[in-house]
Amino acid sequence: MSALAAPRLLNGPLEDPVLFLPFAHRRRGMLFDLGDLSALPARDLLKVSHAFVSHTHMDHFIGFDRLLRVHLGRGAVLTLAGPPGFLRHLEGKLAAYSWDLMDRFAEGLRLGAIEVHAERRIACAYDGRRGFAAEAAPREAPFSGVLWEEPALRVEAALLEHSIPCLGFAVSERFRVRVLKTALQAHGLAPGRWLNALKEALYAGAPPETEIAAEREDGKGLRVFALGDLRDTLVRIESGRKIGYITDVIDHPANREAIVRLCRGADRLFIEAAFLDAEAALARRKRHLTARQAGEIAALAGVRSLVVMHLSPRYEGRESEVEAEAQRCFQELRRRLRPAPGAGEPAGPPPSAPDPPRDAGLP
């Protein structure tokens, strides 16, 4: 049992990259980038508590309006985060509409926004009932990589270079809770919703004496246990999953280093592969990755699997070619980096990325 359900890309490989990360057994989810959200039904949009925006090019931010509209009048708090300039861009979006009818809603909507810089973060809250006016002056705090943290997981971010500063993200579950079937039977207990309460209590770090009401296997009601007893006898705590999300970055040493640090050991890396490597010069001009570069970065980060996204529309009908190049380069470099059996020798130096071009072509 994990805190998160399977992540899914909303759109096809040639369309806006948007990653939806629903929580397991809860009406909650997170979004990475806010491009075209039309593939996500309102019931899922309503689950979104956090949206992490890599940068505010249109293909990554145009869906904000839909997210905002669905949440209006629901009494929610929506947290958004983005790169330098994000508060200004968000305020620009909010300023585009007239909010005089907001008092017709029974409930309001609060937006919490975080603008991420290399070493500091600026937070500001906006109140829907007051036309999304800032509730107070923005607050600044040091930033050392952790963007959001809660009992079950944390979201880290790194400032990367595209034609403008762009954020990469990694989500890590703190741990996974595996219920031992045999122990469940030995306790005479039945699986059911009470296991979610057990998991939530563990993720929240509740004290060991916390009472958990468990369903009896014989259907004769509930039996109360101390959380500590169940933790010691009924479940196994395993390491949590990690998911990386990287898009719209140029391949150069500083970006590689930052991505590898952020996504190291991820179970799955979602990464852009805008161009085939045969068009690496174009990729550099446009400040995007090629499929080869995406595969190499994934291998250097030691991720278990990669999913490519955000292919240039020029590859319509040739998507599998781009995908195959990324996976091939990923596997090849992974093999080279793996020490030979018994040798204990480190592999040869990884391929180095070229220096960034001086011209900043439009993405």
For the chain, strand residue ranges (E) read: 8-9, 19-22, 29-32, 48-52, 76-82, 109-116, 120-127, 133-134, 139-142, 146-150, 153-161, 165-173, 175-179, 211-215, 222-226, 235-239, 242-246, 268-272, 306-309
Q: Is 89 in the site for Zn ion (CB under 5 A)?
A: no
Using the minimum distance from each CB to Zn ion, give the nearer residue, 62 or 226: 62
Binding of Zn ion at residue 156 (CB under 5 A)? no
Under rule CB under 5 A, residue 115 binds Zn ion: no
Q: Is 59 in the site for Zn ion (CB under 5 A)?
A: yes
363 forms part of the interface with Zn ion (CB under 5 A): yes
Cβ-based nearer residue to Zn ion, 60 or 187? 60
b (16+ CB within 10 A) / e for 139-165? eeeebeeebbeeebbbbbbbbbbbbeb
Q: By C-beta, is 16 or 173 nearer to Zn ion? A: 16
Which residues, listed in sequence order, are joined to residue 244 by a DSSP beta bridge?
170, 269
Q: How far apart are CA 240 and CA 147, in angstroms?
A: 18
Q: At what angle do helices 86-94 and 64-71 cross, to 10 degrees?
A: 60
Segment contacting Zn ion (CB under 5 A): 120-128, 224-232, 244-252, 299-307? 244-252
Q: How far is the CB of 23 from Zn ion (least distance, A)?
A: 26
Applying CB under 5 A, which of residues 11, 36, 57, 251 lies at the interface with Zn ion? Answer: 57
- 35 contacts Zn ion (rule: CB under 5 A): no
In the bound complex, what is the minimum distance in angstroms from residue 273's beta carbon to Zn ion? 12
Pairing of strands 242-246, 133-134: unpaired
Q: How far apart are CA 36 and CA 268, in angstroms?
A: 23
Decide whether 49 or 247 has the Cβ nearer to Zn ion: 247
> Does 248 contact Zn ion by CB under 5 A?
yes
- Does 231 engage in binding with Zn ion (CB under 5 A)? no
State yes or no: residue 36 binds Zn ion (CB under 5 A).
Answer: no
How many residues lie near Zn ion (CB under 5 A)?
4
Structure tokens at 86: 């994000």
Could you tell me the smallest distance in angstroms from the CB atom of residue 250 to Zn ion? 11
Residue 76 C-alpha from the chain's centroid: 20
| Binding of residue 251 to Zn ion (CB under 5 A) | no
Rounded to a whole number of angstroms, the CA Rg of the chain reads: 23
Q: Reduced to 3 states, what is the DSSP secondary structure of residue 292?
A: helix
Nearest to Zn ion of 59, 279 (CB atom): 59
Per CB under 5 A, 325 contacts Zn ion: no
- Does position 165 interact with Zn ion (CB under 5 A)? The reply is no
Q: Which residues bind Zn ion (CB under 5 A)?
A: 57, 59, 248, 363
